[in-house]
Amino acid sequence: MTVYNFSAGPSMLPEAVLQEAARGLRDYNGSGMSVMELSHRSRQFVQIIERAEAALRRLMRIPAEYSVLFLQGGASSQFAMVPMNLAQSATAAAYIDTGNWSQRAIAEAKLLSRAEVIASSADKNYTYIPRDYQLAPDAAYLHITSNNTLEGTRFGEIPSAGRVPLIADMSSEMLSREIDVAKFGLIYAGAQKNIGPAGLTVVIIRTDLVGRPARNVPTMLRYDVHCEARSLYNTPPCYAVYVAGLVFEWLEQMGGVAAVETLNEIKARALYDFLDQSSLFSNSVARADRSRMNVPFTAPSEELNEKFLAASEGAGLLTLRGHRLVGGMRASIYNAMPLAGVQKLVEMMQQFEYENAGGKHV
Ligand SMILES: Cc1ncc(COP(=O)(O)O)c(C=O)c1O
Strands 115-120 and 153-154: unpaired
Rounded distance from Cα 101 to ligand 1 centre (Å): 7
Nearest CA, atom 12, ligand 1:
171
CA distance 128 to 324: 20
CB-ligand 1 contact for 291 (6 Å cutoff): no
| Cβ pair 336, 12 in contact under 8 A | yes
pLDDT of 228: 97
Is-catalytic flag, 224?
A: no
How many alpha carbons fall within 13 Å on the CB side of residue 111? 11
User: What angle is formed at CA 167 by the lines to CA 54 and CA 192, rounded to 5 degrees?
Assistant: 55
CA distance 294 to 11: 12
Nearest CA, atom 15, ligand 1:
171
CA distance 7 to 260: 19
CB-ligand 1 contact for 11 (6 Å cutoff): no
Categorize the per-residue pLDDT at 159 as very low, low, confident or very high, splitting at 50, 70 and 90: very high
pLDDT exceeds 60 at position 169: yes
pLDDT exceeds 90 at position 213: no
29 contact partners, CB below 8 Å, separation of at least 6: 44
Rounded distance from Cα 140 to ligand 1 centre (Å): 23
pLDDT exceeds 70 at position 359: no
User: For residue 149, which atom of ligand 1 is closest to its CA?
Assistant: 16
Is-catalytic flag, 193?
A: yes
pLDDT exceeds 90 at position 321: yes
Mutate-to-test residue for ligand 1 from 100, 101, 201, highest number of ligand atoms within 8 A of CB: 101
Mean pLDDT along residues 28-53: 96
Query: CB count, 10 Å around CB of 234?
Result: 13
Rounded distance from Cα 269 to ligand 1 centre (Å): 25
pLDDT exceeds 70 at position 353: yes
Mean pLDDT along residues 2-10: 96
CB-ligand 1 contact for 78 (6 Å cutoff): no
pLDDT exceeds 80 at position 125: yes
pLDDT, tens only, 251-261: 999 999 999 99
CB-ligand 1 contact for 99 (6 Å cutoff): no
Mean pLDDT along residues 75-81: 98
For 225-287, the DSSP string reads HHHHTTT-SS---HHHHHHHHHHHHHHHHTTHHHHHHHHHHHHHHHHHHHHHH-SS-B--S-G
CB-ligand 1 contact for 76 (6 Å cutoff): yes
Nearest CA, atom 4, ligand 1:
75
Q: Of the listed 193, 250, 267, 344, which one is catalytic?
A: 193
Rounded distance from Cα 295 to ligand 1 centre (Å): 16
CA distance 268 to 231: 35
Return mean pLDDT, the chain: 96
Mean pLDDT along residues 193-204: 97
Categorize the per-residue pLDDT at 325 as very low, low, confident or very high, splitting at 50, 70 and 90: confident
176 contact partners, CB below 8 Å, separation of at least 6: 194, 257, 260, 261, 264, 292, 293, 334, 335
Using DSSP's 3-state secondary structure scheme, residue 19 falls into: helix
Rounded distance from Cα 305 to ligand 1 centre (Å): 25
Using DSSP's 3-state secondary structure scheme, residue 352 falls into: helix
